[in-house]
Structure 1
Amino acid sequence: MTEMMKAWVPDPGATAHIRLTEVAKPELAADEVLIRVAAYSVNRGETFLLEAPTPSWRPGKDVSGRVAAVGSDVQGYELGQRVVAHPDQAGWAEWVAVKADRVVALPDGLDDVTAAAIPLAGLTALRLTRATGPLAARRVLLTGASGGVGHAFVQLAAAQGARVTTIAANDERGHRLRELGAVETIPSIEEVTGLFDIALESTGGAALAAAWEHLVADGRLVWFGQASRSPATLDFFNWKGGMSATLRKFYYLDDPSPVGVDLESLVRLVAQQRLHIEVGLTVDWRETPVAIETLLGRRVRGNVVLRVEH
Structure 2
Amino acid sequence: MLAFVNTPGNETPLELREVAEPQPTDQEALVEVKAFSVNRGELALLAARPEGWRPGQDIAGIVVKRAADGSGPEVGTRVLGLAEQGGWAQHVALPTARLAVLPEQVSFTQAAALPMAGHTALRILRLGGALLGKRVLITGAAGGVGRFAVQLAALSGADVTGVVGHAERAEGLRELGASAVITQIDQAQGLFDVILESVGGTSLAAALQRIAPHGTLVVFGNSSGEDTPFSLFKLFGHEGARLQTFFSYDPGVTSTLSADLTTLVTLVAAGKLTVPLGRETIWNDLAPALTELRDRRIQGKAVFLVR
Q: TM > 0.5 between the two?
A: yes
* Structure 1 pair 270–16 and aligned structure 2 pair: CA distance change class (3 A): farther
Aligned residue number for residue 28 of structure 2: 32
Distance 1:75-1:196 versus aligned 2 partners, 3 A rule: closer
| Structure 2: runs of 5+ lacking an equivalent | none
Q: Give me the CA root mean square deviation.
A: 2.0
- CA separation in 2, counterparts of 1:256 and 1:34? 18
Deviation at 1:11, TM superposition (A): 1.9
User: In structure 2, what is the Cα distance between the partners aligned to 1:232 and 1:257?
Assistant: 32
Q: Distance in 1 between matches of 2:174 and 2:275?
A: 15
- Cα distance in 1 for partners of 2:183, 2:237 equals 21
Q: Which residue of structure 1 lines up, in the alignment, with residue 267 of structure 2?
A: 269
- Which residue is 2:303 aligned to? 305
Match of 1:207 in 2: 203
- Corresponding residue for 2:78? 82
Deviation at 1:241, TM superposition (A): 6.0
Q: Secondary structure at the match of 2:232?
A: coil
Q: How many residues align?
A: 305
**AA at the equivalent of 1:59:** P
In structure 2, give the amino acid aligned to 1:277: V
Distance 1:15 1:224 in 2: 31
1:243–1:94 distance in 2 versus 1, CA, 3 Å: same
- Matched ranges for 1:86-235 at <5 A: 86-235=82-231
Shift of 1:150: 0.9
TM-score of the superposition, structure 2-length normalised?
0.93
Please state how far the C-alpha of 1:245 moved relative to its aligned partner.
Answer: 1.8
State which drifts further: 19-28 or 135-144: 19-28
Q: Which residue of 2 aligns with 1:289?
A: 287
Question: Which residue does the alignment assign to 1:52?
Answer: 48
Structure 2 counterpart SS, 1:25: coil
Residue identity in the other structure for 1:52:
A
- How far is the alpha carbon of 1:57 from its aligned partner? 4.5
Instruction: Name the aligned partner's letter for residue 295 of structure 2.
Output: G
Report SS of the residue matched to 2:48.
coil
Alignment partners' CA distance in 2, 1:170 and 1:266: 28
Percent identity, aligned pairs only? 42
Letter in 2 for 1:19: E
**C-alpha distance 165-93 of structure 1, shift in aligned 2 (>3 A):** same
Report the alpha carbon displacement of residue 79 of structure 1 after superposing the two structures with TM. 2.6
Inter-CA distance 78–243: structure 2 relative to 1 (3 Å threshold): closer
Instruction: Render the CA deviation track for 1:182-236: whole Å, top value 9, x for unaligned.
Output: 1100012233232212211001221111111112233221100112233444332
Rate the CA distance shift 1:205–1:14 in 2: closer, same or farther, 3 A: farther
1:76 positional shift: 5.3
Closer/same/farther in 2, CA of residues 106 and 214 from structure 1, 3 Å limit: same
**2:60–2:109: 8 Å Cα contact kept in structure 1?**
yes
Structure-2 separation of matches of 1:304 and 1:189: 27
Q: Once the two structures are superposed, what CA deviation does each residue of 1:221-277 show, in whole Å capped at 9, x if it has no partner?
A: 110011223344433243466354211111244457421111111111111111111
What is the CA distance between 1:13 and its match in structure 2? 2.0
Task: Report SS of the residue matched to 1:258.
Answer: helix
Residues of 2 paired with 1:198 and 1:257: CA distance? 25
Letter paired with 1:288:
L
Counterpart residue number, 2:58: 62
What secondary structure sits across from 1:238 in the alignment? helix
Q: Residue type matched to 1:178 in 2?
A: R
Q: Give TM-score scaled by structure 1 length.
A: 0.92
Matched residue of 2:234: which SS? coil
